[in-house]
Amino acid sequence: MKNNIMSKSREQLELYFLSINEKKFKALQVYEWLYQKKEFNVDDWSNIKKDIREKIKEDYSLDFIKIVKKEEDNLTKKYLFELSDSEFVEAVLMEHDYGLSICVSSQVGCNMGCAFCESGRLKKIRNLETYEMVEQILLIEQDINKRISSVVVMGIGEPFDNYDNVMNFITIINNSKGLAIGARHITVSTCGLVPKIYEFAKFPLQVNLAISLHASNNELRNKLMNVNKVYSLDKLLTAIKDYIAQTNRRVTIEYVMLNLVNDNIENAIELSNLLKGLNVYVNLIPYNETNHIEFKKSSKNRIMQFYDTLKKNNINVTIRKEFGSNISAACGQLRSKEVR
């Protein structure tokens, strides 16, 4: 099967053009057509000679995923996409005071099996191809006719379980002639696949790392997140320390607030002890209730108490603003409705 041209980094296209005895700046021209002029009909790439255009069409495809559903409220738009093999993934657009951000999916389904998460109800069917991630952004930018300035890889799937495609995706959207999204405006979130954290520390772009921690001790984390049975908290924290030492970058610790499960003051104290002295900040995430009816969102009071305890212990902490809780914004909800 042909590769989609939007799965290719600029460097890969340069090598391609050299391999067919063309100048490598053709790659730049292709990038300008795709990502700046947003002209997807290869025949209209007027500064590229016809025989080369024919060769490009022979060697690459340029298929699109399709927007099949939208749900929206004031600050949030949720998109359901259909892929060429009739699978579905979703992306969420959020309007912040600093600009538009998008949450993209990295896999069809997920195998990580977190107890509270809707995406993981449906096991992984396959990884997303690079172009299927790039197009989530392109299509939403076209739909709203505005530029998206930041990207989080926090939709359906575990990005570090699709490492190569996700890194390739980041390289493409970050390229100054690609979508030119600044590395510091790109965040990858992982449930804690430790070997990939070490690998990611060597990735050349200054992208942000977020870790879904969600528990303050192994016993609790084992109950909430299967991954902890393989990569326990101590291994995870060692990897985070290594990442910070290598990159000098601050890591985000995500902590979803589950009522009476992980939101006690004791948990906040335990968490503070785990994170003391590390260059991290904790983002407390109000739980989006799902079909996992055994989990409820923490009350405002309990969230504030948890927040205050972390503050008192000198841990940097913020509470995530809630987006789209009335439009099935919990990751995976739109897809699981569609698949059902």
Which residues bind to ligand SAH, rule: CB under 6 A? Answer: 112, 114, 116-118, 154, 158, 189-191, 212, 214, 254, 256, 285, 287-288, 290, 330-331
Single-letter amino acid code for the residue at 23: K
Contacts of 55 (CB under 8 A, 6+ apart): 20
Contacts of 184 (CB under 8 A, 6+ apart): 206, 207, 208
Q: Which is the catalytic residue, given 103, 117, 191, 331?
A: 331
Dihedral sign, Cα of residue 65, residue 66, residue 69, residue 75: positive
Confirm whether 331 is a catalytic residue.
Answer: yes
Single-letter amino acid code for the residue at 80: L
Q: In angstroms, what is the minimal distance from the CB of 189 to ligand SAH? A: 4
Nearer to ligand SAH by C-beta: 94 or 114?
Answer: 114
Q: In angstroms, what is the minimal distance from the CB of 134 to ligand SAH? A: 18
Q: Are 211 and 240 in contact (CB under 8 A)?
A: yes
Nearer to ligand SAH by C-beta: 314 or 318?
Answer: 318
Q: In angstroms, what is the minimal distance from the CB of 285 to ligand SAH? A: 5
Nearer to ligand SAH by C-beta: 108 or 154?
Answer: 154
Nearer to ligand SAH by C-beta: 157 or 178?
Answer: 157
Query: In the chain, count of helices (H) and strands (E)?
Result: 11, 14
Alpha helices by DSSP H, 68-162? 130-144
Nearer to ligand SAH by C-beta: 158 or 263?
Answer: 158
Q: In angstroms, what is the minimal distance from the CB of 9 to ligand SAH? A: 23
Q: Which is the catalytic residue, given 14, 90, 141, 158?
A: 90
Q: What is the dihedral of CA 173, 179, 185, 190, to 10 degrees?
A: -30
Q: Which residues of 112-127 are buried (b: 16+ CB within 10 A; e: fewer)?
A: bebebbbbbbbebeeb
Quote the tokens at residue 295: 């989990």
Query: Residue 180: which of 188, 170, 189 has the closest Cα?
Result: 170
Q: In angstroms, what is the minimal distance from the CB of 180 to ligand SAH? A: 24
Confirm whether 191 is a catalytic residue.
Answer: no
The residues carrying an active-site annotation are 90, 331
